[in-house]
Structure 1
Amino acid sequence: MSPRRITVLGECVADAFTRPSTAANELALRVLPGGGPANTAAALARLGTPTRFLARLSGDVFGRLFRAHLEASGVDLSQAVAAAEPSTLAVAELDDTGQAAFSFHARDTADWQWTPDELADVDLSGTACVHTGSLALVREPGAAVVEEFLAAAAPGATISVDPNVRPLLVRPEVYRGRLAHWCALADILRLSEDDLALLLPGAPPEQACDLWHAAGVRLVVITLGADGALASLDGERVRVPGVAAQVVDTVGAGDSFTAGLLHHLGARGLLGGRLTGLRPDEVAAACRFGAQVAALTCSVAGPHPPWDDRSARPLTAHGARAEKILADDVENPRSAPSPG
């Protein structure tokens, strides 16, 4: 079954990774295209899902990098906005485990300036799912416009939200204040254990799931790093173990998990409404696939998701070997291979 299109809305961020310089008093930066929604869109397209990305793309050097990266991944940018404002920049420092800490340069940048007119003519016919999240849902003036777009899309498409809390840029209480509204709009809420700790400090994952179900969302998936994921469908829980990987860094892992989850559901015709008839075993299979995609993303540097096994395209543009997602991985999970 050919999956119907998924439309992703949100930001692109230039991820600048620090590295030692050979010159004294200098810091070298390696810039990669990133941003949670952009990463998810690229991963979906590489997995074989027809994917459209609604973004405000600057004409600066970073905006041109985003456009080239997304188009090379197979993402449809036909309704992306050509923005006059500059791109958003995030400077990342990696710790010894590959976890990244970001500092953002995002004031008055292109990603947050959505107007109602820019989204008014988006045709959602043929779209099974609309996915958004991260800073696009909390940065004004565009956040309210994005929420209105989700409300308009909800009658005909599955709505997926990933809060992706960034406390150094937006205070967690801003996310908390809007989360119940997002749950009322959304069918799927995917977040990390770090997001959970910021949104509901001290709350067990099961309690959080019940709270968000009560607010309206049917499927909650909380990723737990190496421990896998907990999914709750209308209160019925499933746990999926983590997938072994030789971790280079974890940048983009959650975004890739989300893409794997949505791709798997969409490829089986399970997206396109309020998830009516979805079974816990189908959720578990989708989460297993998402964990595989996330593990492969962690096995290379930066937010570079893998290509589906039907593609001969390379995984990255900087020399890492192509990794393949095998069709039977969902039923027979295997350890993620390390980069060669």
Structure 2
Amino acid sequence: MPQRPVAVLGECVADAFADSSAGQRPGELALRVLPGGGPANTAVALARLGTPTRFLGRISADPFGALFRQHLRGSGVDLGACVDAAEPSTLAIATLDPHGQAQYSFHAEGTADWAWSAEELAALPLADVACLHTGSLALVREPGGRRIEELLARADGRPTVSVDPNVRPLLVAPAVYRARLPHWCTAADVLRLSADDLGLLLPGVSPEEACDSWHRAGVRLVVITLGGRGALASLDGERLTVPAPATAVVDTVGAGDAFTGGLLHRLGRLGRLGGRLDGLTLDEVGDACRFAARVAALTCSVAGPNPPWPADLRAAAPRESGRPDPA
């Protein structure tokens, strides 16, 4: 039976990095622009791993929009349901600290990603998808955020719903995410977030306590990525941790998005996407998280949000464990 697609709903962002190698003259600043945005990065990771992936976004007709289309299509993502938007693309200026961690300043007012109309969302092809993944700024920037939230509520258990809050405090106050997260949890089956997100959403609350609160709100599977310390996964309150593979970090841009892509890809291959994760076991969660951690580690080993292809995973597997691990 053909594998049902995963739909990813959200933004594309042009990530611009200062390029000191460009030989610019005094008084100039050269920027190297990479296609990014959390949902777009997750769609790329899924498609490269072999999951049929449908991106649902509003993509501008400007040069950045052309870059997004080329990148997504080149990774195997289906763009047939995207909206051709008249508004400009969202731009983020990124700087890297000595550990490869990115900090962003955003240019996001009046851009294409948040301007969803109710009619555009109603026309999206979702009847055949196994999973609907969304999150990041698309869920909190208006006018589209509330409308996407309503779309999740209408999913009603048909596709598995996955949410990644991906808190961006420079653009949206964490209090806004805190107020909206309970609504997302009533619709979500999978919640993936980072330790940084947790600190902003529930300051002073332990990962275990946070998992329990989100389970009570309705989420079956919570995965909190902990950077170099691996990840904590909680399925209906049963928990496990997985380590992060050793890797030489170039930067961490897109690593969390790649983890989400790897997690959903593996759950799909296990036949667990579609519906409310019925039959999912903690052993299967551990398998999916270990695979996702490998995908994230390989993303950290290269510059920018550049998740691996299956050949990259096969090439790395003998070095990691002495045996291949098929995607």
Equivalent position to 2:58, from 56, 59, 67: 56
Equivalent position to 1:65, from 64, 67, 90: 67
Cα distance, 1:156 vs. partner?
A: 0.8
Alignment match, 1:17: 17
Cα distance, 1:4 vs. partner?
A: 1.8
State yes or no: 1:153 paired with 2:141.
no
Pair 327,275 (structure 1): closer, same or farther in 2 beyond 3 Å? farther
Cα distance, 1:267 vs. partner?
A: 1.1
Give CA deviations for 1:41-77 in whole Å, capped at 9, x if unaligned. Answer: 0110000000000000000000010011101111000
Instruction: For 1:17, give the aligned amino acid.
Output: F
Cα distance, 1:264 vs. partner?
A: 0.2
Q: In structure 2, how many angstroms separate the alpha carbons of the residues matched to 1:143 and 1:91?
A: 23
Instruction: For 1:108, give the aligned amino acid.
Output: G
The question of whether the paired residues in 1 share the 8 Å contact of 2:295 and 2:307 is answered with yes
What's the TM-score once normalised by structure 1's chain length?
0.91
Equivalent position to 2:194, from 189, 192, 195: 192
In structure 2, stretches of 5+ residues that fail to align are 323-327
Q: In structure 1, how many angstroms separate the alpha carbons of the residues matched to 2:102 and 2:316?
A: 32
Aligned-CA RMSD value: 1.6
The question of whether the paired residues in 2 share the 8 Å contact of 1:3 and 1:269 is answered with no
Alignment match, 2:232: 230
Give CA deviations for 1:252-298 in whole Å, capped at 9, x if unaligned. Answer: 00000000000000011111010111100100100000000001111
State yes or no: 1:76 paired with 2:78.
yes
Give CA deviations for 1:12-61 in whole Å, capped at 9, x if unaligned. Answer: 00000113253222222100000000000011000000000000000000
Give percent identity, aligned residues only: 68
Equivalent position to 1:272, from 258, 269, 274: 274
Query: Helix, strand or coil: the match of 2:11?
Result: coil
Q: In structure 2, how many angstroms separate the alpha carbons of the residues matched to 1:2 and 1:265?
A: 15
Query: Helix, strand or coil: the match of 2:180?
Result: helix
Equivalent position to 1:41, from 40, 43, 49: 43
The question of whether the paired residues in 2 share the 8 Å contact of 1:16 and 1:31 is answered with yes
Q: In structure 2, how many angstroms separate the alpha carbons of the residues matched to 1:334 and 1:33?
A: 32
Aligned pairs for 1:75-224 (under 5 A) are 75-224=77-226
The question of whether the paired residues in 1 share the 8 Å contact of 2:223 and 2:233 is answered with yes
Pair 327,149 (structure 1): closer, same or farther in 2 beyond 3 Å? farther
The question of whether the paired residues in 1 share the 8 Å contact of 2:160 and 2:273 is answered with yes
The question of whether the paired residues in 2 share the 8 Å contact of 1:56 and 1:82 is answered with yes
The question of whether the paired residues in 1 share the 8 Å contact of 2:11 and 2:138 is answered with yes
The question of whether the paired residues in 2 share the 8 Å contact of 1:162 and 1:191 is answered with yes
Alignment match, 1:314: none
Cα distance, 1:2 vs. partner?
A: 5.0
The question of whether the paired residues in 2 share the 8 Å contact of 1:243 and 1:334 is answered with no
Q: In structure 2, how many angstroms separate the alpha carbons of the residues matched to 1:250 and 1:155?
A: 33
Aligned pairs for 1:245-324 (under 5 A) are 245-309=247-311, 324=312
Query: Helix, strand or coil: the match of 1:76?
Result: coil
Query: Helix, strand or coil: the match of 2:43?
Result: helix
Q: In structure 2, how many angstroms separate the alpha carbons of the residues matched to 1:101 and 1:333?
A: 30
Alignment match, 2:325: none
Cα distance, 1:193 vs. partner?
A: 0.2
What's the TM-score once normalised by structure 2's chain length?
0.95
Alignment match, 2:8: 8
Give CA deviations for 1:147-199 in whole Å, capped at 9, x if unaligned. Answer: 11112223310000000000000000000000111111100000000000000
Give CA deviations for 1:71-101 in whole Å, capped at 9, x if unaligned. Answer: 1111000010000000000000001100000
| Alignment coverage as a number of residue pairs | 319
The question of whether the paired residues in 2 share the 8 Å contact of 1:200 and 1:208 is answered with yes
In structure 1, stretches of 5+ residues that fail to align are 310-323, 336-340
